[in-house]
A and B are shown apart, each in its own frame.
Chain A
Amino acid sequence: DTAVSQTPKYLVTQMGNDKSIKCEQNLGHDTMYWYKQDSKKFLKIMFSYNNKELIINETVPNRFSPKSPDKAHLNLHINSLELGDSAVYFCASSRGTVSYNEQFFGPGTRLTVL
C-alpha cells in the first residue's frame, strides 16, 4: 500500500512541451505539497494545498499550475517547459495545516527537459 504515489517516475521531454505530474495520497491527510529538488540538491517548497485550497504559493513561474481535484490528489501541470525545469519533483502530504507535522513524501518524479 503506497502512501503517497506519483506518476510518472521519469519524464523526458522537449523544451516547449506541456506536461503533468500526478500525485495521490491514501493517508487521509488534509494538506499536500509540491517540492522541487534542483541540481544543487536543495529541496524547495513550491505549492501547498489544504482541503483543495492553495495556502502556499512560492515564487514559482506561472507556467507551473497545481490542481487539486480533491484532497487526496494534487497534480502539477507545467507549460512551455524550459531546460531549467529539469529537476526531481516530490509530492508530499501531512495531517493538518501546520507543515512541521511529519510530511510523507512520494518517490519523486525525475523530469529531464532536452
Chain B
Amino acid sequence: DQQVKQNSPSLSVQEGRISILNCDYTNSMFDYFLWYKKYPAEGPTFLISISSIKDKNEDGRFTVFLNKSAKHLSLHIVPSQPGDSAVYFCAAWRGGSEKLVFGKGTKLTVNP
C-alpha cells in the first residue's frame, strides 16, 4: 500500500535550470510533508518541509508547493547545481501515527 508515490525514478536537468520533483499521496489525513536528500553511501538529510495548512514553503533555492485538492506536492530547485545531484525522497506524516511514510525516491542528475 503505497501512500506516498514518486512516479519518476529519475530526472536529468542542465545546470542553472529548474528541477521539479513530484510526489503524490493517497491519504488526505497527512499533516506534514518533508523532502530528504540522499547522496550515495550516506544517510538521507532533511531538506525542507511543509505543513498541510500551507501551500508553499521556501528556503533559498528550494521551494515546496502543496496542492491538497490534487494530493500532490512538488519540490522546485532553482537554479540547479551539480551538487544537487542526489536521490530525493518525499515523506509524509500524520498526527497520531508517529511515523514518516517515505516514497521510493527520485534520482536527480544535474549536468554541468
Contacts and interface: CB of A to CB of B under 8 A. Distances in A.
Interface in A61-82: none
B99 A56 contact: yes
B87 to A, nearest CB: 8
Contacts of B104: 40-42
Given A100-B32, A100-B49, A105-B43, A56 B102 contact: no
Interface residues of B, number: 19
Nearest to B89: A43
A97 B99 CA distance: 10
Interface residues of A, number: 24
Contact of B43 (A48, A92, A102): A92
A48 B99 contact: yes
Interface in B23-45: 31-32, 34, 36, 41-45
Contacts of B45: 104-105
B93 interface: yes
Interface string A92-114: 10000111101111111000000
Contact of B93 (A40, A48, A99, A105): A99
A99 B101 CA distance: 10
Contact of A42 (B34, B44, B102): B102
Given A4-B43, A42-B102, 12 more contacts: A40-B104, A43-B44, A56-B99, A58-B99, A99-B100, A100-B31, A100-B100, A102-B49, A103-B100, A104-B43, A105-B43, A105-B45
Interface of A: 4, 40-45, 48, 55-56, 58, 90, 92, 97-100, 102-108
7 contacts: A4-B43, A40-B104, A43-B89, A99-B100, A104-B43, A105-B43, A108-B43
Interface of B: 31-32, 34, 36, 41-46, 49, 89, 93, 98-100, 102, 104-105
